[in-house]
Amino acid sequence: MSNIIVNPKNYTGHELETIFFRPLLTGPSAESLGIRILYNMPMPTVVQVWDRKGNVLTPYDESSSWSGGVKTTHYQKTIPMARVKAENAFSASDYFSTVFEMITNRPDINMEDLTGTDLEVAETELFRRSIAESIRMNLWLGDKGGTLNTGYNSFDGLLKIVNERVKNNSLFYNRTDLDDFLSEYHVTEAFSQIIAESNPRLKGLFPEGQCAFFVSPNIYSIYENYLDTAFGAAAYSDNQYGRKNLMYHGFPVIEINLEPAISESSLSSSFIIFTDRRNLVMAVNTADNPASEVRMWYNPDEMENRQRAVFAIGCEILDDELVSAVINQA
């Protein structure tokens, strides 16, 4: 068996969506981001938001005409999209070893009869994982201007957006002194304070089960250490097997681990962001750009395997008033 993979693969159009990007943007990969994802919405990507205030019920009177009450308020939010490309290059031998290892780890593979399909699936999965992690890091650390030294400059990410809007005081509740905040309040008291000070409109969304805390690893660790001080059978089980997901009063506490890049940037590595998951939106588009593709090929001149994906992506906070944030200002 040759230790070089030379067959080119090229996904465009419908294959680009069904084989490569849709599996990437649904299921566990999407759930790990914890936010709302829009895929292949028409560009420019505009999110329609409807907000009804008041009571829709009125007394019935057969002689009266239309009395529909207060007109529904309509908001629009355009998500800024940036055209990006993802590229990987491996030496031919390293690439073959990596892909081959992914194949051998599958229980359904007959090593005596490796087909081109098996290799293609493994290659696609290898590249998909790389893109998924880069999307996650760019989603939070993106800095298109490059002034924050995050190393991710394809599009502006959520932490930059939050920092700018905290600076402009456009979020409903925000503080720029997280360290002082935690010296004043225990972490559970801090969570309670953020919940209590959040917008009444956000509180009205609590029963829908989509509100969550997005926190940095140090905040997550403080809360986890607090839980470790509890006693009883549940605490014993947690100490033995760990905790898959943390909650506070029914709200998920989601750890956003951005190390080591965030420690090397100008952004603070400590933050607490409380909002409805659907208020944080990432949009990906592969349909409205004719150049969108995923290509994998072997370059004999450099003796290396290369991978490239071209697509459009961007993120946005839909409603600043539905966000409560406590950070150390960048």
What is the C-alpha to C-alpha distance for residues 162 and 1, in angstroms, rounded to an integer?
53
What is the C-alpha to C-alpha distance for residues 102 and 90, in angstroms, rounded to an integer?
15
What is the C-alpha to C-alpha distance for residues 172 and 228, in angstroms, rounded to an integer?
33
Q: How confident is the model at residue 23 (pLDDT cuts 50, 70, 90)?
A: confident
Give the per-residue pLDDT at 50: 60
Task: Compute φ and ψ for 85, nearest 5 degrees.
Answer: -140, 145
- The DSSP string of 219-264 is HHHHHHHHHHT--SHHHHHHHHH--S-EEETTEEEEE---TTTGGG
The per-residue pLDDT for range 279-314, each reduced to its tens digit, is: 999 999 998 877 899 999 999 998 898 999 999 999
Give the per-residue pLDDT at 159: 96
Tokens of 79: 């998500």
What is the C-alpha to C-alpha distance for residues 320 and 150, in angstroms, rounded to an integer?
24
Q: Residue 214: CB partners within 8 Å, gap ≥ 6?
A: 34, 254, 256, 271, 272, 273, 274, 275, 280
Tokens of 244: 């898959």
Give the per-residue pLDDT at 240: 64
What is the C-alpha to C-alpha distance for residues 280 and 276, in angstroms, rounded to an integer?
7
Q: Output DSSP code: residue 108.
A: T
What is the C-alpha to C-alpha distance for residues 63 and 151, in angstroms, rounded to an integer?
67
The per-residue pLDDT for range 75-97, each reduced to its tens digit, is: 788 899 999 999 998 888 887 78
The answer to whether the CB of 9 falls within 8 A of the CB of 2 is no
The answer to whether the CB of 305 falls within 8 A of the CB of 92 is yes
Tokens of 62: 């057969």
3-state percent breakdown (helix, strand, coil) of the chain, nearest 5: 35, 25, 35
Highest mean pLDDT among 90-94, 99-103, 266-270: 266-270
pTM (whole model) above 0.75: yes
Tokens of 7: 């067959």
What is the C-alpha to C-alpha distance for residues 182 and 252, in angstroms, rounded to an integer?
20
Task: Report helix, strand or coil for 149.
Answer: coil
Q: How confident is the model at residue 122 (pLDDT cuts 50, 70, 90)?
A: confident
What is the C-alpha to C-alpha distance for residues 163 and 314, in angstroms, rounded to an integer?
17
Q: What is the mean pLDDT of the chain?
A: 85
The answer to whether the CB of 154 falls within 8 A of the CB of 82 is yes
Work out whether strand 323-327 and strand 173-175 pair parallel, antiparallel, or are unpaired. parallel
